[in-house]
Amino acid sequence: AQSVSQHNHHVILSEAASLELGCNYSYGGTVNLFWYVQYPGQHLQLLLKYFSGDPLVKGIKGFEAEFIKSKFSFNLRKPSVQWSDTAEYFCAVNARRDDKIIFGKGTRLHILP
């Protein structure tokens, strides 16, 4: 069965700091990978996704993620965070053989102004 592990439950950063949120998954087959974001009081939104091709994926709002197959990782990065990035971030995986998305437990990111 697939599973997703997010390393940090809470992260606090100051504005302009660099961000890296860890995500590891367990599944031996081919996967699609996602990062979702939920801003306070808002819907879950897709930040970026990896299906195939270039393992460095660029998403909205300056976020990017790198798929490292050998490490089963898909870490999210942003070089300089803003106060408006305060949100909860979910890593997710989908095994290509089915239509379920398995989510990690989420990381709450709090940016200090």
Partner 1 sequence: NAGVMQNPRHLVRRRGQEARLRCSPMKGHSHVYWYRQLPEEGLKFMVYLQKENIIDESGMPKERFSAEFPKEGPSILRIQQVVRGDSAAYFCASSPEGQVLRKQYFGPGTRLTVT
| Binds partner 1 (CB under 8 A): choice among 8, 9, 56, 60 | 9
- Provide the minimum distance between the beta carbon of 80 and partner 1 in the complex, in angstroms, as a whole number: 27
Rg (CA), the chain: 13
Per DSSP, the three-state class of 85 is helix
- Provide the minimum distance between the beta carbon of 6 and partner 1 in the complex, in angstroms, as a whole number: 8
Do 84 and 95 meet the contact criterion of CB atoms below 8 Å apart? no
Per DSSP, the three-state class of 39 is coil
CA–chain centroid gap for 63, Å, is 9
Binding mask 60-89 for partner 1 (x = CB under 8 A): ------------------------------
Asked if 39 touches partner 1 (CB under 8 A), the answer is: no
